[in-house]
Structure 1
Amino acid sequence: MPYYDNDTIEEVRSRNDIVDVISQYVHLQKKGSSYFGLCPFHSEKTGSFSVTPSKQMYYCFGCGAGGNVFTFLMEYENFTFSEAMEALADRAGIELPKQEMTSEARREADKRNILFEINKEAAKYFYSLLRSEKGKLAYQYFTKRELSPETMQKFGLGYSDKYSNDLYQYLRKKGYTDEVLKDSGLVTIDEARGAHDKFWNRAMFPIMDANNKVVAFGGRVMGDGEPKYLNSPETMIFNKSRTLYGLQLARRTKKDQFILCEGYMDVIALHQAGFDNAIASLGTALTSGHANMIKRYGKDVYLSYDSDGAGTKAALRAIPILKEAGITCKVINMKPHKDPDEFIKALGAEEYQHRIDEAENSFLFTIRILERDYDMSDPESKSAFYYEVAKRILEFPEELERNNYIEAIASRYQVGFDNMRQMVNHLGTKGGIISEREPQRLKSGVQKKKTREDGMMQSQRLLLTWLVERPQIYAAIRDYIEPADFTEGIYETVARELFTQFAEGGELNPARIVSLFSDEESQRQVAEIFNTNVQGMETDADWEKAIRETLVRIKQNSMEQRRRNLDPTDMNGLKQIIDDKRRLQEMEKLHISFK
């Protein structure tokens, strides 16, 4: 990864106002000194996502996502830090310095580039074989599947020769070594069989990343061989759980949603029929990595999985993963046909569009499938079904949303709105999710199980937030507290940088502190530190009392930790503890001016 010095990072960050950048992704409205909108990182109806210009930071009070402008692009676009730097530098018209890589980083980058080259060469070779006499059988296969020459070209379809070392020999002649070919996933080299191809005598489907680079292949056997479908193994450039077939084309769609399928041919058939928003996971169940890739380019997905039992199970697994990523999901009814390819051939594009228009809400789909497990003619089983439905409705955080689903269920099953709502409220009260005095209020945002927060961590967070929001208090407390007194996790590093900014006398820059940390979790924690709130302080006297008490708690904790770790023979350490006790007495009488 390229290395950038702190001054270069800060120049790029400061030239990209966080409100301007995030406004390209999230609709923001100004409220007071901050901007608010719906969080792009979790599903919510009430905007708890805040962007604060003075701090150049964002923070979601619902799910805890937060950071600076780099963090946002890393989370939203799934960028590495280097990719975020390059994107923001380009946006601001800044030319980044050429980076000297370490020898290890250069070797890795070179190897990745070579693997991309090998996959590109293989794709070109397979493409040419399909259109030669050798590929006649595979070409007939694609033609029987009613694919046009234009569609075959668009997806780069090809053929791997019937000889099991044909591609190996071709790539060796191109100058690639056995060592790198082994790492490409296209060739296996062992003592028993020597070098042989991963794919041979198969109709070939190049798999591309979102940037249109060939990263892997899928192959459908010609004849009776096994397995029928085969995918490349994972390599340095291919991660199955983050790669979606057809995404390089679908990301350019003008449509408002993606159609998520199960197989190559479903995607290809839909694109040929005019549905250029079709994508598929690669023979694996949908993962959170897939969902996050989709979220980079859109927020709505229509599931077009097979209509059989396996397809239904796959849909039920996919729905919560998509929901967790903040993606709205509906389910397309394929019946009486098995999959989109078969459906399009039998009923055509117009009828498929009709099925899209009538796609079923994903929650109602899960309830309809759930109903199959219950005997609705038996009162006890029927009651158990409604009980399970009520439990699932409780998962929605907003009262209005819960009422809408209660109304939909009541209408579909003729159970009565009041009866269903009463059951939901009863279960919510019983489980501690809904208060008896406030029967319909839930916390907006992601529902997380949280342990009771450590009081000292809260105190240290509060003081750091207050120092940024009320910088005038620094002059009053600087003689009594130091960064080492912030003992929790990364707090000492944050405090040290903040105190340095105060000492240098320049403008406070919380967003720069975020950039000191390379991992997203630490950046999120820093954002949380600078967005800690406490209620009930209206006057300067209230603020002074709260700050003084917080300061004393932090100092007492620091002194206690030092005392426990003190060597009895350390005279300087003993003297410091005595000095700390004197300071503590002074702190308890400290006056803090807000003028």
Structure 2
Amino acid sequence: MAIYPEEVVEEVRNRTNIVDVISQYVNLQKKGSQYFGLCPFHNEKTGSFSVSPQKQMYYCFGCGKGGNVFSFLMDYENMTFKEAVEELAPRCGVTLPQRELTAQERQRADRRSRLFEINKDAAAYYYKMLRSDAGKQAMEYFTKRELTPDTMHKFGLGCTSKYSDSLYKYLREKGYDDNILKDCGLVTIDEKRGGHDKFWNRAMFPIFDANGKVVAFGGRVMGDGEPKYLNSPETEIFNKSKTLFGLYFARKTRREQFILCEGYMDVISLHQAGFDNAVASLGTALTEGHAGMLKRYVKDVYLSYDSDGAGQKAALRAIPILKNAGISCRIINMSPYKDPDEFIKNLGAEEYEKRIQNAENSFMYQVRMLQNNYDMTDPEKKSDFQKEAARMIVMEFPTQLERENYTESVAAKFNIPKDALAKYILELGQSGITARRELGSGDDYQKKSLKPKDDGMKMSQRLLLTWLVETPDVYPKISLYVNPEDFEAGVYRTVAEEVFKYCDEGNPVDTARIVDLFMEDEERKTVAALFNTTVGELTDNSDLSKALKETLLRIKKNSLELAQKNGADLKSLVEGKKTLQRLERLDISL
């Protein structure tokens, strides 16, 4: 993993103040020795996101996201570890050494560079083809869609020929061999047919990444062929679940929100009409990856999906994904037209701007879509709808203030008696139904959100590791009885080995460095949780001593049971039982 010497990475990490970095993205408030704010990785109303300057770590007691300053940039900005180091080094005055790439790294970098070159050459080929006699049909299609030459140029629009191997032959003439072409997503190579194009007889839409590099294409068939729209397959440089059409242009907008559409033409038409903040998710359902990309640029997204049933379902799927990413969303009403392209052509940009200004609150939209499923002329069905609307309010909003505001709005908009609705919502709350979102922050939230699987052995191991980090004086009192081998194999044991090593040497535990031993997101979340477990409501030293001893006993007993189950030798089992007996007699005072 080390792309720079470990001592250089450590210097960057140690010189960087994690509070200063995260404060650029999150409004933090100091509470005691820690800072709290609203989590940037999921939607919440109460600050369960904590940043510890002592540990140089962040942790969300709600969604479990956690790590050090590098992993924050990796999670929030979708950076690689290398990019995060290179982003922070200049800020803290560290000069990164120039290093030689390994053969494997050089080969991968060269391969990615070649794939970018192939896509760039293909885009130029398609662009030129559109403006030749062979592109007459596609040009008529774009012209009929009322696109101007400037718009076609801006988006690099092009077309293929009617022959199924023209691009393949062109790329071969450019010097690309089959070994790289087979993985570029633009041609298929097989023994029977040889090389042939994936796209032919289609109008072509280049897909740019956020840096303006062509990474893929979308093609609209000319005529009645199927499929109507075809996208490049995923490649080493193209991940469709993290790529948004139009993002390269939209990220430069001065508007405070993005407009999220479904299709290429919707985005292009909106940009041509002056709405330079439009993007689309490549005709695929919105993913968490897309939401993560959006969160890098805006806090608000306006959905401008098709107004038909499929578009409504897509919007209902997108709303919770955006909310979970911490993005506020509203719905643009395009009635009586199907999509933004049709709307702009018929009513114009000024009317579309009005629809933006009057965009519907996403929760109110969800309730309105729910109402469509009920026969409101039937008293029983009407009551069912009203009860479900009440349940939605309770499940969605954790605070009394929010519930009262939405109770008032829902009652007024959907003709529900306000007092009756409020009473039913109160009854639901008293019956134990609670909001999906956070109920509190810090220790309070953690106690409420613990899952059963966390209540047992893992919880004890997490508690001990946090204890050793925050109170290293405990280590000499417990080191004779518990060691890293007593921890669950995998992440827990690796972390325990590192923590015990620091304690053996008498040094403070560098939790931020330990995080860098793990690159997988789930592993980093686990490590962050290991260092952010709390003792609970214990207040005096006798309680702490008792809790520590109980924690040690649980861990040691579990370790012995596993050793016996796994067929450990008799000698080690006997020694283990003697250690356990000594521990049971031990008087720990803190």
1:196 and 2:196 are equivalent in the alignment = yes
Q: Is the 8 A contact 2:62 2:449 kept in 1?
A: no
Secondary structure of the residue aligned to 2:256 is coil
Change in Cα spacing, 1:46 to 1:454, as seen in structure 2 (3 Å) is closer
Structure 1 equivalent of residue 552 of structure 2: 551
Could you say if the C-alpha distance between residues 442 and 68 of structure 1 is closer, same or farther in structure 2, counting changes exceeding 3 Å? closer
- The residue that corresponds to 1:376 in the other structure is 376
1:471 aligned partner: 472
User: What's the TM-score, normalizing by structure 2?
Assistant: 0.92
Cα distance, 1:118 vs structure 2:
0.3
Map 1:126-525 → 2, pairs under 5 A:
126-399=126-399, 400-430=401-431, 432-434=432-434, 442=439, 450-487=451-488, 489-525=490-526
Are the counterparts in 1 of residues 44 and 438 from structure 2 also a CA contact under 8 Å?
Answer: no
1:260/1:301 contact within 8 Å kept = yes
Equivalent residue, structure 2, for 1:576: 575
Aligned letter for 1:583?
R
User: What is aligned with 1:531?
Assistant: 532
Distance of aligned partners of 1:135 and 1:35 in 2 relative to their CA distance in 1, 3 Å threshold = same
Alpha carbons of structure 1 residues 541 and 308: separation in structure 2 relative to 1, 3 Å: same
Distance 1:402 1:199 in 2: 52
Give the direction of change, closer, same or farther, for the CA distance of 1:465–1:240 in structure 2 (3 Å limit). same
Q: Partners of 2:438 and 2:29 in 1: how far apart?
A: 24
CA separation of 1:487/1:312 partners in 2, compared to 1, >3 Å: closer, same or farther? closer
Q: Which range moved further: 37-46 or 575-584? A: 575-584
Residue aligning to 1:591: 589
Counterpart residue identity of residue 343, structure 2: F
CA contact (8 A) 1:397 1:442 kept: no
CA distance in 2, matches of 1:574, 1:336: 77
Cα pair distance change 1:513/1:194, threshold 3 Å = closer
Tell me by how many angstroms 1:125 deviates. Answer: 1.5
Is the alpha carbon distance of 1:2 and 1:67 closer, same or farther for their aligned partners in structure 2, counting shifts above 3 Å? closer
Deviation by residue 1:41-73 (Cα, 9 ceiling, x = unmatched): 111111111101001011111221111112211
Give a deviation string over 1:142-166, Cα, whole Å, max 9, x none.
Answer: 2332222222221111122233322
Q: Contact conserved, 1:398 with 1:443, CA < 8 A, in 2?
A: no
Q: Which moved more, 1:552-561 or 1:12-21?
A: 552-561
Where structure 1 has 5 or more consecutive residues not aligned to the other structure, the ranges are none
Greater shift in the superposed pair: 292-301 or 328-337:
292-301
Alignment CA distance shift 1:536-1:317 (3 Å) = closer
Corresponding letter in the other structure for 1:232: S
SS of corresponding position for 1:203: strand
CA 219–564 in structure 1, closer or farther in 2 if over 3 Å, else same: closer
Give the letter aligned to residue 186 of structure 1: L
Whether contact under 8 Å (2:62, 2:438) holds in the other structure is no
Letter of the 2:537 partner, please give it.
G
Indicate the residue corresponding to 1:77 in structure 2: 77
The change in CA–CA distance for 1:223 and 1:480 in structure 2 (over 3 A counts) is: closer
> Aligned letter for 1:576?
E
Equivalent AA in structure 2 for residue 408 of structure 1:
S
Q: Compute the RMSD of aligned alpha carbons.
A: 2.6
Task: Kindly tell me the number of residue pairs found equivalent between the two proteins.
Answer: 584
Alignment-derived partner of residue 14 in structure 2? 14
Instruction: Specify whether residues 567 and 325 from structure 1 end up closer, same or farther in structure 2 by C-alpha distance, changes over 3 A only.
Output: closer
Whether the 8 Å CA contact 1:343–1:352 is kept in 2: the answer is yes
CA distance in 1, matches of 2:454, 2:189: 55
Instruction: After superposing the two structures, state which structure 1 stretch, 525-534 or 87-96, moved more.
Output: 87-96
CA–CA separation in structure 2 for the residues paired with 1:567 and 1:139:
76
Q: Aligned in 2, Cα 1:479/1:338: closer, same or farther, shift over 3 Å?
A: same
Cα distance change on mapping 1:457 and 1:504 into 2, 3 Å: same
Give the distance between the partners of 1:138 and 1:564, measured in 2 at CA.
71
Which deviations, in whole Å up to 9, do the C-alpha atoms of 1:554-576 show, x marking residues without a partner?
333334444555656x44x2552
Query: How many angstroms apart in 2 are the aligned matches of 1:272 and 1:209?
Result: 20
Do the aligned residues in 2 keep the contact of 1:433 with 1:442 (CA within 8 Å)?
no
Q: How is 1:89-104 mapped onto 2 (pairs within 5 angstroms)?
A: 89-104=89-104
Structure 1 contact 129–159 (Cα < 8 Å) conserved: yes
In structure 2, give the amino acid aligned to 1:330. Answer: R
SS in 1 for 2:50: strand
> Which residue does the alignment assign to 1:25?
25
- Which secondary structure does the structure 2 equivalent of 1:312 belong to? helix
Which residue of 2 is the match for residue 54 of structure 1? 54
1:242-289 Cα offsets, whole Å, 9 max, x none, are 211001111222211110011111111111222111001112222222
- Report if aligned partners of 1:2, 1:99 keep a CA contact under 8 Å in 2: no
Tell me the secondary structure at the aligned position of residue 518 of structure 1: coil
CA distance in 2, matches of 1:565, 1:448: 33
What amino acid is the match of 1:422? K
Deviations 1:418-440 (A, max 9, x none): 2112222333444x3259xxxx9
CA distance in 1, matches of 2:391, 2:465: 41
C-alpha distance in 2, partners of 1:434/1:243?
35
Counterpart in the other structure of 2:113: 113
Cα separation, 2, equivalents of 1:364 and 1:183: 46
SS in structure 2 of the partner of residue 94 of structure 1: coil
TM (norm. structure 1) is: 0.91
**In structure 2, C-alpha distance between the alignment counterparts of 1:157 and 1:574, rounded to whole Å:** 72
CA apart distance, 1:193: 3.5
Query: CA contact under 8 A between 2:463 and 2:530: conserved in structure 1?
Result: yes
- TM-aligned CA distance change 1:35 to 1:223, over 3 Å: same
Q: Secondary structure at the match of 1:35?
A: strand
Structure 2 Cα separation of the partners of residues 490 and 217 of structure 1: 41
1:330 counterpart SS class: strand
Identity of aligned residues (%): 61
Does structure 2 retain, via aligned residues, the 8 Å contact 1:468–1:530? yes
Contact 1:159 1:204 in 2 (8 A): yes
> Structure 1: which amino acid aligns with 2:323?
K
Structure 2: where are the runs of 5+ without partners? none
Secondary structure, counterpart of 1:269 in structure 2? helix
434 and 235 in structure 1: CA distance in 2 versus 1, 3 angstrom threshold: closer
CA distance in 2, matches of 1:434, 1:425: 11
The CA distance in 2 between the partners of 1:563 and 1:202, in whole Å, is 67
Deviation at 1:129, TM superposition (A): 2.2
Matched residue SS, 1:244: coil
Tell whether the 8 Å contact from 1:147 to 1:269 is kept in structure 2 after alignment. yes
